[in-house]
Structure 1
Amino acid sequence: MIDPLILLAFLPASLALNITPGADMMFCFAQGLRRRPRAAWAASAGVAAGGLTHALIAGLGLAALIAAHPGILTAIRWFGVGYLLWLAVKSLRATRPDIPDTAPAHAFREGLLVNLTNPKVILFVLAFVPQFVDPTRPLLPQFLIFGAALGLGGFVINGTVGHLAGGAGRHMAASVRFSRWLGRISAGIFGLLALRLALLEVK
């Protein structure tokens, strides 16, 4: 279905993209810092699922339609800004060091929504993945395979970053005072991500 040589060329390129710090990595970092390593891995899984969804949409040809209508991308972008600001406010209000058992499920959902509402990802999938697609073969399976490879790499890298942050945050979170500071730091990260997305120029 995919030429092995093409896939081998895609993997290092996708790895280089995944290790570049960006919104997804910072989001997983904040989740690990505030909610411990388990939530960081769940958030990373949500981000990866969002990336695979983008690949599915691109494979179906819908992403090209979205990219052709800036109004849709603008609406998606501002929804993402609002959601990140809501996460920032929620982090500020969370003052207890103990996190509910449902935190990983919440982290997965939040990671998924943060990824899906980032129009930069839509345009990235449209610009990057098609370079490796063979137009003589079925397009959707190729997009899904490339999207899965990209998502798997991102899951490992972003999850590791969040896990390391969670290891440091776990010791400090035992104190209510430090837990409040962790919430403020996480809120600051979410706020900066919202600002970055608000100022993003989608072309």
Structure 2
Amino acid sequence: MPRTADHDARRREIAAAVHRLVATVGLDAATVAGVAREAGFSVGLVQHYFRSKDDLLLFAYRQVTAAVGDRVAARVAEGERERRPVADAVFESLRELLPLDDRGRDEYRVTHAFLGRSLDDPALAEVARTTAAGIRARLAAAVANGKACGEVEPALDPATAATHIAALVDGLAEQLHQDPARTVGGRPLVAAAEDLIRTCLAGVFTGECRHDGR
């Protein structure tokens, strides 16, 4: 089938219906018939755009992970345009990975529903692997940029720092999803989580930027 802008837009619209179903009801509800009802389409139309349920779910998983990744990249780019310290841009990008609002909570539920299914589905597992690798690569690049401008000590290994930061954020995201109302040290978990991330970044970005007058 020829790929057109309308074709791609319709596929994204169907994938958005998958997202809504998984976020509100769960992955088992994302049958072809269920998605068609949610999208307001016929089953035949959904099958016209996706060869199988597995094809549909794989596309939907890629869409939601790409949306998160795009926002992370946008935060980093925004920090660069505003000539802010690398550590500040990284902090803002990491907040996009936490379930802090309705959108974030829905995305967390959807991505982790797919992550669970990926244990038995190699195609979904590859999306999960490349998504995590992409986040670590962005973090490692930020650390390398920090080294170039003086915010990070030359001896620090970017990959090691990226793995450390990603592991912390993954753990905090899970806790925020499981028990968002919990308090830590008399403060809301959200505030404590953000402070923990800032403390982690302060241990990586220990210097001050020497470029661009920052």
TM over 0.5: no
Name the larger-Rg structure. Answer: 2
The structure that is helix-richer by fraction is 1
Q: TM-score, normalised by structure 2?
A: 0.31
Pick 1 or 2: higher relative contact order, CA cutoff 8 A, min separation 6.
1
